[in-house]
Chains A and B, each alone.
Chain A
Amino acid sequence: MSEKILHSYSGIFDTPDEIIHAAEKTVEAGYTKFDVNTPYPIHGMPKAMNLEPSKLGYAALVFGLSGTLTALFVMYWMAAIDYPITVGGKPFFAFPKYIPIMFEVTVLAAAIGTVSTMLFFFFKFPNNAHPLHDTSYMKKVSSDKYGLIIQADDPKFNEDEVKVFFASLHAKDVEPVYYDMEDINASPKIYDKKFIGGLALTFILVSGITYFTLNKLMFMVPFNWMMYQDKLTVQEKSSVFPDEFGVRAPVAGTVARGFMPYEFPNEPELAGEVLLNPLVPTEKNLALGKKKYDTYCSPCHGDFGDGDSRLRGQFPNPPSLHSEKVRNWSDGRIFHVITMGQNIMPSYSSQLTREEKWATVLYVRALERSKNAKESDLK
């Protein structure tokens, strides 16, 4: 056993009024290093103890403002400088929409910063020992009593005087509080080998289990839930065929069911001569043609085929569909352009079926007719 050192004298009171009175008297008696412990905050205590307002507010202010500015800078830099994206038609640096986030980050930074300051600066973390811990005094004041201590390092402290002083306050259970120098000098409990070992073990277990689950377990039957199967998917190598292609080309001379290949991929003039429109201009066919034209053709050719693109010059505008040349083309020639594309215009085979292409041709014919009507149309 090492030597016991006197930390303070403690006294117990029964009511909040008594403790307020005791605190006032202690201040009057000139003690400066004393403290009051109560089970709950008592109104008027800061004044009775003559406490200065806490300086913690300044830490909150500094941390809060740094949060505000960090949020503002981060959003400004990301959204207006490094990777500008238009969101909701707003300017890149749209201050109003930043305010809620600035507010949130302010609160977060202020809260975390204030608590950390309190722990590390005022409570001297990781030191977690205090002479009052594990005393009968602390047990009483954490349930239903009100306690006052006068510390031994107070300049006015004198053991006998303090005892008399406590008696004059009618304090109960006046007793000294001792502490071990060893306890104070001992390294904090969190550097304990067992604690560190426990932390390391937890770390290894958690990361090991996570690694096993995500990298091994998920590939075992039945935990993979049939996610991975033996069939080949796109871009995978085949071990069966010598050329190792997983996706096979069709057998020469065959076509897939329901698929009709285009007969004249490289012969536009021949297509114009040979192909005939199988559709008649009924209301239904024209409506289908209009729908497809408005969806796929109008973005570049314009709603009425004038070549007035809605894309505002992001692509070269196509020529008008009302030109002499196009009007003199046969239906099959236009069908060829839709199927194979022309100049910068791509093929529309994957978007339109044969029937839809012919319907679109009908609608283009109707558009041409509307601008260059024959005299007989007026009758």
Chain B
Amino acid sequence: MSSSQSNVDYQHKPLPSSFTKIGTALLAIGLIIVIIGYFIDPTRAAFNNLILLMFLVSIGLGSLFLVGIEYLGGAVWSTPFRRITEFLASVLIVIPIIAIPVYMHMHDLYHWTHNEAVQADKLLKGKEPYLNLEFFTIRIVVFLLIWLAFYFLLTKNSKKQDTSKDQGLTKKNIKISAIFMPFFALTITFSAIDWMMSLEPHWFSTIYGVYYFSGTMLAALAATTYLLIYLNERKLLFKGLNQDHYYSFGALLFAFTNFWAYIAFSQFLLIYYANMPEETFWYLARWEGSWIVFSIGLIIVHFVVPYFGLLSQPSKMNPKRLKFMSLWILFAHFYDLYWLIMPTYNKEGIVFGWMELGFPLLAVGIVALMFGLKANKQNLIPVGDPKLIRGINFRL
């Protein structure tokens, strides 16, 4: 293997300066809008902040999952692109900062934080051992610590391998990934329940964690696909990247589009069929006023368009199409989170204004800037990885 390592023709080049410039600009504009928003309507800003938080968790944690699953499955084809997912996972570092405003507006966001409401409500009183501020805080802190710990462990070994070329580090990371997986499954489920499902503390759905996970995977894959094509178009990656690599990402995006639809429909069908008032009200709230338009729009935006956009084989290989579809899927995931969270803020109908625009800008800015910072410091492909050559030579 060591002899073939030298065959990788790679020179580290920094990203185009426009990348970080646009990232910084978006971050600045977004930040200004967000701060003004917090002054004018703190409650509405807090709800938007929650969407932003969940979106960044999707990208960061989803990417970390992709890194872990690649080690664990011994995947070869994706090894050359592991750095992109690693850099995207660095968004996790920002998560605690984004989570602070949410924590400060707990009373505006979460009905169950009001003690007198809990005492008057039999159902909430029954859930009190789980849904109380102290335990909530402990859980969130533990989740964040777990995510950051695994992020630093995995990326540190991967980075070290660039210079040491030590195959033992891959073995080490496989072990770390194996430990990470059950933690990932539990933390993503419970963070979705804590941060989003508890907005409606009376409602429950056992598939909620999987639902959020399916969106997470789509967001992480879409971000990776977009950046991969972006970098390849500027010749910042390796020579020999071909349609077979594109096809694999296209196929995964297509697969997870279907997975999302499957999970979303499973959740809906069970509740629709059982027709129990304690479950149906959640969907009814999204079927009233202008929310009905938004709900039907979710099916089209999140399923119909990506499904037909990625259905044929050539469309999974076409970089232009993939670029558009990955941006579309990122938008669809934001749309999905908005659909999950905002009906709690306003039952009458859709709320949309300059504030709802500011938070996505901030999200894109944060992702771009974190990626840019990492990409300018480190190699864009894991040059020391023993699987790299086989990954580059991957053919369908």
Contact between B265 and A97 (Cβ–Cβ < 8 Å)?
no
Residues of the A chain whose Cβ atoms lie less than 8 Å from the Cβ of B396? 43-44, 46-47
Q: Which one of A44, A53, A99 lies within 8 Å of B395 (CB-CB)?
A: A44
Residues of the B chain whose Cβ atoms lie less than 8 Å from the Cβ of A44? 244, 395-396
Q: A261 on the interface (CB 8 Å rule)?
A: no
Q: A258 on the interface (CB 8 Å rule)?
A: no
Interface string of A43-58 (1 = CB under 8 A from B): 1101100000100010
Q: Which one of A43, A46, A47, A97 lies within 8 Å of B272 (CB-CB)?
A: A97
Q: Which of B148-176 contact A (CB under 8 A)?
A: none
With A and B bound together, what is the CA distance between A313 and B312 in angstroms?
59
Closest to A44 in B: B395
Residues of the A chain whose Cβ atoms lie less than 8 Å from the Cβ of B395? 43-44, 47
Contact between B269 and A43 (Cβ–Cβ < 8 Å)?
no
Q: A88 on the interface (CB 8 Å rule)?
A: yes
Contact between B394 and A99 (Cβ–Cβ < 8 Å)?
no
Shortest C-beta distance, B68 to chain A (Å), equals 25
Number of A positions contacting B (CB below 8 A): 12
Shortest C-beta distance, B314 to chain A (Å), equals 7
| Most chain A CB atoms below 10 A, which of B244, B312, B394, B395 | B395
Residues of the A chain whose Cβ atoms lie less than 8 Å from the Cβ of B244? 44, 47
Contact between B272 and A96 (Cβ–Cβ < 8 Å)?
yes
Residues of the A chain whose Cβ atoms lie less than 8 Å from the Cβ of B206? none
Residues of the B chain whose Cβ atoms lie less than 8 Å from the Cβ of A47? 244, 395-396
Q: Which of A85-109 contact B (CB under 8 A)?
A: 88-89, 96-97, 99-100
Q: Which one of B265, B268, B269, B314 lies within 8 Å of A53 (CB-CB)?
A: B314
Shortest C-beta distance, A155 to chain B (Å), equals 28
Q: Is the interface of B mostly helix, strand, loop or mixed?
A: helix
- Contact A53 to B273, CB < 8 A, known contacts A43-B396, A44-B396: no
Interface string of B298-330 (1 = CB under 8 A from A): 000000000000001110000000000000000
With A and B bound together, what is the CA distance between A96 and B312 in angstroms?
26
Shortest C-beta distance, B383 to chain A (Å), equals 23
Q: Which one of B265, B275, B313, B314 lies within 8 Å of A99 (CB-CB)?
A: B265
Closest to B393 in A: A44
- Contact A57 to B312, CB < 8 A, known contacts A46-B396, A99-B269: yes
Q: Which one of A43, A57, A88 lies within 8 Å of B394 (CB-CB)?
A: A43
Contact between B273 and A88 (Cβ–Cβ < 8 Å)?
yes
Shortest C-beta distance, A75 to chain B (Å), equals 15
Residues of the A chain whose Cβ atoms lie less than 8 Å from the Cβ of B265? 99
Q: Which one of B268, B313, B394 lies within 8 Å of A96 (CB-CB)?
A: B268
With A and B bound together, what is the CA distance between A57 and B314 in angstroms?
12
Shortest C-beta distance, B120 to chain A (Å), equals 32
Closest to A48 in B: B395
Jot down 7 A-B pairs with beta carbons below 8 A, ordered by A. Answer: A43-B396, A44-B396, A96-B269, A97-B272, A97-B273, A99-B269, A100-B269
Query: Which residues does A use to contact B, with CB under 8 Å?
Result: 43-44, 46-47, 53, 57, 88-89, 96-97, 99-100
Given contacts A44-B396, A57-B313, A97-B273, 17 further A-B contacts (CB under 8 A): A43-B394, A43-B396, A44-B395, A47-B244, A47-B396, A53-B313, A53-B314, A88-B273, A88-B275, A89-B275, A96-B268, A96-B269, A96-B272, A96-B273, A97-B269, A97-B272, A99-B269
- A-B complex: 3 closest residue pairs judged by Cβ atoms: A44-B395, A43-B395, A53-B313
